[in-house]
Structure formats: C-alpha cells, structure tokens
Structure 1
Amino acid sequence: MAFSFDTLRRWPDIEAPDLRAWDAADTLILDESASARGELRDGTLVVIEDTHGALSLGAAADGATGIRTHQDSLTGERALHTNSKRVGLEHAAVSRPLDATLVSGARVVLLRLPRSLDALRNIAGLIAAHAAPEVIVYAGGRIKHMTPAMNDVLREFFDRVDVTHARQKSRVLIACQPHDGADPEPSRAMHDGLSVCAFGGVFAGTSIDIGTRFLLECLPAAISGGSSADPLIDMACGSGVVAASLALRHPDARVYASDQSAAAVASARATVEANGLSSRVEVERDDALSLRPDASASFIALNPPFHAGAAVHDAIAPRMFEDAARVLRPGGELWTVWNTPLAYRAALERIVGPTRQIARNNKFTVTRSVRR
C-alpha cells in the first residue's frame, strides 16, 4: 500500500510549524534499503531510532510485516504507534527494548544514526552479537549531524562499511559482515562517593553536568515528603544523579525518578543499584510524570531538557512545568535549574505558583516554585 509521509504527526512529542515527523534521511534510508528489504514478512526487519514512525511505516507500506522497533524516546515510540493507526498499519511494528530480543536473527536493520558515538557503539555491538550473519545495516542521518567517527565505530563491529552519495543533505552508511558483537554495558565513574552509571546517549554520560551540580548544591537540607505515597521526585532524571543523591542525603526517604529516554532509565536504575539504593528508589520510563496521580507530591527536582531531537525548542520545559504543577499538592515545591538566558521564571510563576530565585551563577539559575 502507499501512504503519504505528510500524514505523519509528532504527537505526543512536541509539535510546531518548524518541526516535522520525518525528513529526507528517512526517505533515503528506505530507498537505499529497498532491494535488500524486498517484502520481508518473517520478522527479520528491525528499525532502530525511527523518530516518529516514517521508517517503520514506510517499510510496512512496502509489504514488510513483523517489524521489530526500538526508539529511545517514549514520545517517539508513542508517535509511531499513533501514526500506525492513522495510516491503517496498526499491527505492522512492535516495540522492543534495546536487547537481544530486538535484533535476534535480523537480516536487515534500518537505523537513524544517534548523535552519540557511545549510543551507536551500543547499537552496533548488539546487532553484531545477535543478528543473522548476513545482516545488512542501513544507518542514515542528516549530514550536518554525521561525523567520520561514526564510520569508525561501525568498523569496530562490521568488516565492510560503505557510504552512499548524499541526497538532500542526507547520507547513509551501509554495514555488513558483523564480528565481535557485544551486549551494551554501562560505563561507570565515581564522584565524591557517588557511583554514576551511564549507557550510551545519556546526557552528560558518567559525568555530573554543571547544571545538576549547581542544583544539588542548592537543594535544602530539610525536605517535605519522602513516604511511599509521597516520594521525593526526580523528574527528567537522566543517569539518576539527583535521585541517588536525594536518597543518600535522606536515608529514610522514598524517591521516584522518571525519564522518557530508555537509555536514561536503564542508566538511572544502574546508578541506583550501584549505590545500594534499589529498595528506596523507583525509576520509571514515563512522559514527564503521567504515571503519578494529581496532587500527590510535596517535592520535585527538575533539570529540564531543551532539545526536541536535534532541535532546540522552548516548549519542552513549560510542558514539564505543567505536569509538575498537576502532581504537586498545594504548598508542594518544584526546585528547578535552568540556563539563565532561557528566562523560565515567568512561566514557572504562571504555571506552578510563586517562584523565588535561590541562586544564580554565570550560567545557571536555581528557583523554588510553590504550588498555589
């Protein structure tokens, strides 16, 4: 069947006139892989990091069935399945975690190149370890986000890596003849007694970014909440540094951490386990705090992202502020760190409640907002 890429939407991801659900890299990957894909109907086609469903649904429209997919972004995953219903391909693809069940026996893999080389290394190693020996990987992206180092990473796991001609500012790397595969393992580093674990692609990796450091320096010694029904919350938790720090500082408290990135959740769980905190810290993959009930929290810490994929966008943080406001009980506190030029204070005042600047340095501002 045929469908128009223009019918695809980003929802529930951020939607705006300058953001699209597909681009020229998607169509180039599909065109370059067309002869290898044929009409694979045996579940041996795998699609990884399909932003909002263009690759999976384009392949399904060509006749492929039993497609296995993985998207690090939960909103991207939900957009894929929403789009699949919209175009009449509801059962074409099934989402899997980034493990052997995703790529076992795969003969063709379509991949949107991640910007992180460590994330690419995790993906390439997994494919080489578990896909069919004859697997062919079509890894593409926008040229402005590609580097020669990506070719080198693929060559760590594939004997042959070819590069296609550019088209519409996009390019595809074609890898085959896998060897020396390996399942992803987190990297680890110690910071002042805190063990930080990170899988490839997680913001800041095993380091503690300067915004998070500043937030941790400013958090109060006494915090309300911390029970099972009212845990301390680390929203957009990344590698779990704030969640683990809260649990270590407050030995009797329960902590809840969430992130929409699958790699971040895996990293935060590894960080929590490495610090012996698994009995008190729960980590969930979630779009903001959708799994938490209204008016149920006394304390939320937030270091909000400001990227929608590769694009910087100012709608992401306010969306998180809105969910924090929903989850906070009256008098509950949202502690936020943000790049000062983003000027979030007015939005925090409007969405959450009275907001006071706690600290400011040459780059970041930390605020405390109290739910009305």
Structure 2
Amino acid sequence: MNHIALPGDAEPGLVRFPADPRDRLRAWDASDEYLLRHLDEAEVPLDRSVVVLGDRWGALTASLAAHTAQAPTQITDSHLAQRATELNLSRLGHPAGAARLLSSRDEPPQRVDVLLVRVPKSLALLEDQLLRLAPAVHAGTVVVGTGMVTEIHTSTLQLFERILGPTRTSLARRKARLIFCTPDPEVLAAAPANPWPRRYPLPADAPLLAGRTVTNHAGIFSAERLDIGTRFLLEHLPETKGPARVLDLGCGNGVLGLATALANPQAELTFVDESFGAVASAEATFAQNTDGRKAEFRVGDGAGGLEPGSFDLVLNNPPFHSYQASTDATAHRMFGGALRALRPGGELWVVGNRHLGYHVQLRRIFGNCRTVVGNPKFVVLRAVRRG
C-alpha cells in the first residue's frame, strides 16, 4: 500500500493561499480524502506519470508528492491554487520541484498513466481539460475523479464517457463520491473537437461595446452572454481623459477594460485575474477589438505585484464565491490591493449585488464610499484614495 497521509493528518496543516489564520475554510474536503483513501486501498500504482487535474488548494498534489516515482503534474486554471500548492509542498517538507505545476493554458503532458480529477464547478472547464488531455490517455490509464455529491451530475459522467470511455460512480461517503472511468481506445480516437475558446458578439444595446466580439476560454464567468452586473457598470462607466492608467481588476474576459480603452484612446490598460483562462480571454478580446493597441495582462493575486500608487482608476466586479463557499474574503483582498495600487485621488469603482454590503468594507479600507447608482439588484460604488 502507498500509506498516503490524509490532508487532515498532515503536520503542519495544509492551508489555502494566501494563508490567513482567521480563515476557517479548509484547504481540503471529504472528496479529497476519499480519493486518497481509494488510492491506498486499491493500491493504485504511482510509479508512472501521475497527473492531478483541478486540485483546488494543492491538498492532493502535496499529499501524493512523497509517493510518486516521478514528480506529479498538477494542472489548474487558478494562480491561487498554484501558490497554495507551492506553500503546502513546502509546509510538508518537500523540496522545490517536488511537483510540476502547469496552468490550464500550458501544453499538457504527452503521456498520462494515472489521471486524478477534482471535478470543477464549471462543466465547460472539465470538458476543455479532458479534451486537451485525451491524446495523452491510453487504455491502461487509471482515471479516478472525485467531488462532493452536489458537484457530480449525470452531465459530469456523460462528459467522461464521451471523451474517455465507460464511467461509473462509487457509493457516497461523507457526502463525497468517486468517479471511475475506463479509457476506451475507440472513444479516445473519436474524441470531438475542442469547442473552446468560444466567441460571441455583444448585443446591439451593450453600452460602448455594441457588436464587439468577446472571447471566452472554458470556465470563465459569463462565457455565453454579457453579465448583467457588468452591463450595469458599463452603463455608468466613469469617464477618463488623457493617458490615464486604468486597472481592470478581476478582469474576466476583459469587457470593462476594453470599454474604457475604446472610450479613451490614450488610456493605458492593465488586466489582472487569478484565472489563467480569464487573462487569456481578456487578451484575445482586447486584441480583436483594438487593432494592435498595447495593454498589460497579468495572472496574479489581485493587485499584488503591481506598482503601488500608479493607477488613476480601478474597475472591479468581484466574485463572491470561493468554489462552493460564499465569502467576502476575495473582495476584501481586492479592495485592499486597489487602495495600494491607486495614486492619491485615484478611484475604485465597484459593481456588486446590493445585499453583499461592499460599502461597509470600502469605508473601512478607504475611509469613504459613495453609491453612484443602484437598482433593485446591483449597486455601483465609488471609493477614493485620499492623499
């Protein structure tokens, strides 16, 4: 047996990134533990090429690193997941290079002997990644997926069957379930073309962007249509003049930054998101609509790593889910990062669901906040960095 230690038994404990002692959310769940127990009990050989797909906070990769003959390969769309993996590998005493960390946009390995899949929230992202990995999967590949019962649907199983081969599920254990897939060479050979990225034109009534084409890689928020919150901010987008530096923070497909760039040809745009696919989407969207105009595109944790005090305007439509958990921690980090990134007198404009109460956080962080406009569902808020 492999005798893989479960994440909850690890010393020191595994953490999310950025590590915050006040954060009560764990870096693993019952589905991660279920998968690791199965690898032990079934004596799955780990002496070959092991790929971990969608590991949320590095719990699977860090737990397996001591038991694989070669460094396991992790593939994720999340910069934060990569950073968490690096941190947790270090916390468990593994040296640099104990795992190979790839993004969802990197070339996948050429051969996969063991494929472990943490089912993502986005079925589109799962489809894209399985299609990208299918050429490396063979008849002898061990494929095991895992997720909470609420995350695994008939459509999830159908996706495995359509791309890789016959699929079944385990009994539920602690509200978690495993997926067992047996790769079929005929299914692999007939794998459909990857439909991602997808492109669609914005509607004729989209403020500033009517008819413009948007590119979306798999798993990106608002992949099929313009998000109503983004639309609301577009309707009330602040005016910029001259060579203003503008940051589209948590840019997604880059619609907000693009609209600002089109409204002000002299504006200097920076797009940041923690999703590799989102930044790739924003870059493609910007390139399609600006005839070679330059902008900066960065994958990172909010405004971290950007030059402090260098932006005139930050635009933000923050997410309020961290996987299945509702949390305001991401928005709080974004607001704090925006404050550091803005010059004195610079402004943060935020759109959010009215019930989230972002104005309370903004007043604490900036010392001020004004409601620009609101409707029954959304508010647009403005906070200014004081000198």
TM-score, normalized by the shorter chain, greater than 0.5: yes
CA distance in 1, matches of 2:223, 2:21: 28
CA distance in 2, matches of 1:251, 1:117: 37
The corresponding residue for 2:283 is 269
Aligned positions, number = 366
CA distance in 2, matches of 1:303, 1:14: 23
The corresponding residue for 2:217 is 199
The corresponding residue for 2:7 is 5
Judged with a 3 Å threshold, the aligned counterparts in structure 2 of structure 1 residues 245 and 277 are, in CA distance, closer, same or farther, namely: farther
The corresponding residue for 1:59 is 64
Find out whether 1:86 has 2:91 as its counterpart: yes
Question: Do the aligned residues in 1 keep the contact of 2:242 with 2:266 (CA within 8 Å)?
Answer: no
Percent identity between the two aligned chains: 34
The corresponding residue for 2:153 is 147
Where do residues 134-173 of structure 1 align in structure 2 (5 Å cutoff)?
134-173=140-179
SS where residue 382 of structure 2 aligns?
Answer: strand
Q: Report deviation, 1:183.
A: 5.1
Amino acid corresponding to residue 268 of structure 2 in structure 1? R
The corresponding residue for 1:188 is 199
Where do residues 91-240 of structure 1 align in structure 2 (5 Å cutoff)?
91-98=97-104, 101-175=107-181, 176-177=183-184, 178-181=188-191, 182=193, 185-191=196-202, 192-223=210-241, 225-226=243-244, 231-240=245-254
CA distance in 2, matches of 1:53, 1:312: 20
Find out whether 1:70 has 2:75 as its counterpart: yes
Q: Report deviation, 1:132.
A: 3.7
CA distance in 2, matches of 1:10, 1:46: 21
SS where residue 275 of structure 1 aligns?
Answer: helix
Find out whether 1:50 has 2:55 as its counterpart: yes
SS where residue 274 of structure 1 aligns?
Answer: helix
Q: Report deviation, 1:274.
A: 2.3
Q: Report deviation, 1:280.
A: 2.2
SS where residue 8 of structure 1 aligns?
Answer: coil
Q: Report deviation, 1:354.
A: 2.7
- In structure 1, the gaps of 5 or more residues are none
> Which of 274, 283, 298 pairs up with 2:312?
298
For structure 1, which segment, 250-259 or 63-72, has the greater mean C-alpha deviation from structure 2 after superposition? Answer: 63-72
Q: Report deviation, 1:14.
A: 6.3
Q: Report deviation, 1:346.
A: 2.4
CA distance in 1, matches of 2:130, 2:278: 19
If the length of structure 2 is used for normalisation, what is the TM-score?
Answer: 0.89
If the length of structure 1 is used for normalisation, what is the TM-score?
Answer: 0.92
- In structure 2, the gaps of 5 or more residues are 203-209
CA distance in 1, matches of 2:292, 2:76: 26
The corresponding residue for 1:29 is 35
For structure 1, which segment, 94-103 or 20-29, has the greater mean C-alpha deviation from structure 2 after superposition? Answer: 94-103
CA distance in 1, matches of 2:354, 2:299: 28
Where do residues 248-287 of structure 1 align in structure 2 (5 Å cutoff)?
248-276=262-290, 278-287=292-301
